[in-house]
Structure 1
Amino acid sequence: MILPPQHPLSAGLTSDSRLVRAYRGQRSDTTPVWFMRQAGRSLPEYRELRVGTRMLDACLDPALAAEITLQPIRRHGVDAGIFFSDIVVPLKLVGVDVEIEPGRGPVFGRAYGDAAAIAELTAIDPAALDEASAPITEAVQRTIAELNTTAPAGRSEGATPLIGFAGAPFTLAAYLAEGGPSKDHLAARTLMHADPGAWSALMDWTAELTGRFLRTQVVAGTSAAQLFDSWAGGLSLADYERHVAPASAKALAFVHDLSYETTDASGEALTRSVPVVHFGVGTGELLGAMRNVGADAVGVDYRVPLDVAAERVGPEVALQGNLDPALLAAPADVLDDAVRDVLRRGRSAPGHVFNLGHGVPPSTDPDALTRVVELVHEAGA
């Protein structure tokens, strides 16, 4: 499917942005930077806006979701925004009983850890998400409307790209099998081996649901898509490749057929696909396999240096990451040295998007994030 002419990529508003170029494995005037889970983790204006509003209610309020998405872009001058959402939003939209409990995370009305429960869950048609996604489409479009009229820092034209966001099939399945958060994801890993048929049905279903959720955001206007696998790091490489990777590939397939028409420097017409990023926590041993599911760029957490990650994913893959979030509270000279080290190691990859190696800690001083952005733009030139 070719994206419509008004899409930011098709219209040329973001197709040559620092972010999109980096995801394509190209360098521009400086290294782009954005932060995962940025707004809700540190900004006082976010906390003020969220008073009295539950997380999923905020995600499904288009005006609120758009404003929360825009807050860190305005404050920090980052090169991209990440759409404000949660990985369980598509589950909520198709009628699954789930809420996010403060301090705990997603909690379901029941666990889906056996064949009978999974059969009940998978009886819900994932295509129902398409009709239920109007709040998501509106929120993305509201955000894009403002981004398209605001030039990014340091650039005289273009717009700040928005990144779509969805949870990977395994992370969704891990929560569903347990009925909530788990430290070891034992229910999911047990189901994987004890009942491969039920596990396969669950993964196929979560793959289609989250893939449709990601596609909705891209069609509505995001310029890239990130699949976030919070819990894949708890798996062996063999289990990941056999029991998880096919579902992640299926989810990303919902974005891979989305493309846009543009021209190169000589004016020749080109058709390009929407860039896809795959990030996981604790996935150092899985980086090559995560690339193989169909990622243009691989996000790396803080445990693996970027030059080592570059060797694992191959020479043609862009990297994203990977400053240790703990360093945001370190003395300024220590933080600055760490930022420069990440930038140096990131030169091992054809393209590099600076980010943290996980989410922003809630106690972070927002000024530290702004300082990082300024240093990345200066030292990454």
Structure 2
Amino acid sequence: MNKEIRRGALALMLGLSAFAAQAQDKELNLYVWSEYIPDDVIENFTKETGIEVNVTNYESNEAMFAKLKLTNGAGYDVVVPSTYYISVMSKDGLLQKIDKSKLDNFKNLDPALLNKPYDPNNQYSVPYFWGSTAIGVNADEIDPKTITSWKDLFKPEYKGRLLLTDDVREVFQIGLTLNGFSANTTDPKEIEKAYETLKPLVANTQVFNSDAPRLPYLSGDADIGMIWNGEVYMANKEGGNLAYVYPKEGAIFWVDSFAIPSHAEHTEAALKFINYMMRPEVAKECVEYVGYATPNLPGKALLPDALKNSKVIFPDKATVDKGQFQTDVGDAIGIYEKYWTKLKTGH
């Protein structure tokens, strides 16, 4: 083969390779919580970039993590884990480092929500929303002023009217908090003590729901219990009358972040999508849709005053300081899960 033919073959191979890469960039597989991104935000991204977004939903971090573990970080291009799951997944090799040089809009994010212990320097994650888990009260049935504490959920009159999120760490945080323990304890005795505290609460529970916990409130299956702040916002938009109470012992706080699985097939498309989601006008629309707090400062500035000043969406510093963010508990998660199974099976 002479030099001219070799050069031609090489050029053809490079051209085909570039074409294949470009074709790959026209698709994005997004694995995300249900009802978390407005449809028109995704549609506008596709119109602008030509990248088709395939959306798959999950209802818990545990389900998402199990799926990614099974595929070794393949099959999806963007996922949205909560807080300490970023740490767990990066340690397991399920996430790739994010090239922030391709994220022009990263500068829009609140520094107070960056560089957290679960992801120093945000090597693996980009915050999307932050929010809380506290007490939801159907104000048509229960006077919200009578509810001030996690202890109120244990009252016998709420038996069969109670909702808990289907989340081991969130539910155990109630038991740990009431005993004066850290939400992130790894001490088996403290976890066991929380289990003993929680047994009567779980016995009173009508439903566990971490998919759309507002729906049992709206249908009348639950009148009080745990709920996320955004679900209260959405429920009231849908005609409900839910109050949101931050318990005096402190609420549960979390951050949901965009991350790219280690074996994502469309990394460039993933980076374009994450950068697009950090545009101020997009961040504003997402808050208006789902009612969680955005870390996007110029996006927050665009919000109407009613949302910007809402303590349900944006709690004040004193409320946040009283609560706790969850961190990775390492192998102790096995202890939590053991007692969680006992709780849910009534043993």
Q: TM-score range by the shorter chain?
A: under 0.3
Question: Normalising by the residue count of structure 2, what TM-score does the alignment of the two structures yield?
Answer: 0.25
Structure label with greater radius of gyration: 2
Greater RCO, 1 or 2 (C-alpha within 8 Å, sep 6+):
2
Q: Provide the TM-score with structure 1 as the length reference.
A: 0.23
